Structure 1
């Protein structure tokens, strides 16, 4: 049957990396997934992969920086499937520079691809999530929780996402909507490129992870996303789940 049988899911940044891992794991559990991405080629390729398991799944090309039209993403999905059960706000782009060097353009990129799409898609999805008593899964980062150097714009946007997620959990709990946050460390394509460019630094970071490895985007991050999208997590909301091998232990 699958934990997510016939649940309709939107995943931003779903053409690859963590978003792609989540999409692949969710269709295995019976979900119908609409991946949203700006990259047409990789988006279509991922859609084909998903449709081999979940024929109704689809790819929507969209630029998340086009904030005025974000509502059309939700409209398109609900128009096609008649409902929305889960919103996964995964996409985020940023530039690594020191605070001193951070420009308005750097802030606009991070907030424009991460915070604002998360906020506006949550607003657009709300009427439909009320009907389905659905779930929102947003993404935080150890960069924000630990204050990693050169990550000012990214950390700021990620912590802003955590803030609105907690507000939504409080405001939307009365509608039966759960809102939670994943803070991952994963062996994504970006991390793999970094490993090739700076192998010694990569190994140093990996060795500080208590479980001794970077997470798998599908088996590790994807499985937690399935849990948060399923009925198994119905009494969890407003929480940040550290899916990072023990790198940051909240207390």
Structure 2
């Protein structure tokens, strides 16, 4: 049990990759604090987590800074500490660059970058006490400049930037800050696949390992590694969990 007794906050923890990580962390003994806006899915995932280890669920809009502060404070009140912060939640719209508006940018930064930034600041005092771990999320959209994803790519690269800054500043406190850039077969991707079989097959053909990652076994297990003592000497890195699609230099 690599994470026995640890307390982990997972934003977007009720769906897709977040669901997979919540289960992977709980199976290793962590108390998982699920943060999501989908109450129905949140309750279902909390039930799964509670069968493994006591968890918490917050159904709150994390684009509101005050909600983030409330989540952090209530987590500490309930469990007494925070060991792991995973910033996974993010929403965006795909449109061509020339059609990208401030509304698109505000959605992407408001649900992804700013919550990541504010959660990191709010959790810092607790993470300093526990010599904790931060895991943020990037994307090949930003690393490769994928078409129609200007707002999403910009926010994801901004997240990578502040992750590197925090890794340099917080290393002296014993806090590790790393980034996962995943490709995974989520329910949303399954839905898209059902209506775009040919495009899906073409996408998979471009992945060296010829498959999409599993949210729990591939992405979740990587999160467990980065959240555990096994990764104590790794910080400031972007870990590509994408079947070899992007090879960082």
* 2-structure distance, mates of 1:78, 1:203: 45
Instruction: Indicate the residue corresponding to 1:86 in structure 2.
Output: 84
Aligned residue in 1 for 2:10 = 11
Q: Give the C-alpha shift of residue 197 in structure 1.
A: 1.9
CA distance in 2, matches of 1:185, 1:250: 15
Please, which of 183, 186, 199 is the counterpart of residue 185 of structure 1? 183
Show the counterpart of 1:50: 49
The yes-or-no answer on 1:96 pairing with 2:94 is: yes
Q: Distance in 2 between matches of 1:181 and 1:197?
A: 31
Matched, 1:156 2:160: no
Residues 134-186 of structure 1: CA distance to partner in whole angstroms, max 9, x if unpaired?
00000000000000000000000000000000000000000000000000000
TM (norm. structure 1) is: 0.98
Q: Cα distance, 1:214 vs. partner?
A: 0.2
User: Where in structure 2 are there 5+ consecutive unaligned residues?
Assistant: none
Q: Count residues with an aligned counterpart.
A: 249
User: 1:122 matched to which residue of 2?
Assistant: 120
Q: Which runs of 4+ in 1 moved over 2 A?
A: none
Q: Deviations over 1:113-154 (max 9, x none)?
A: 000000000000000000000000000000000000000000
Question: How large is the Cα RMSD of the aligned pairs?
Answer: 0.6
Query: What is the rounded CA distance, in whole Å, between the counterparts of 1:184 and 1:8 in structure 2?
Result: 23
- Paired residue secondary structure (2:14): coil
Counterpart of 1:70 in 2: which secondary structure?
helix
Which one is further off, 207-216 or 63-72? Answer: 63-72
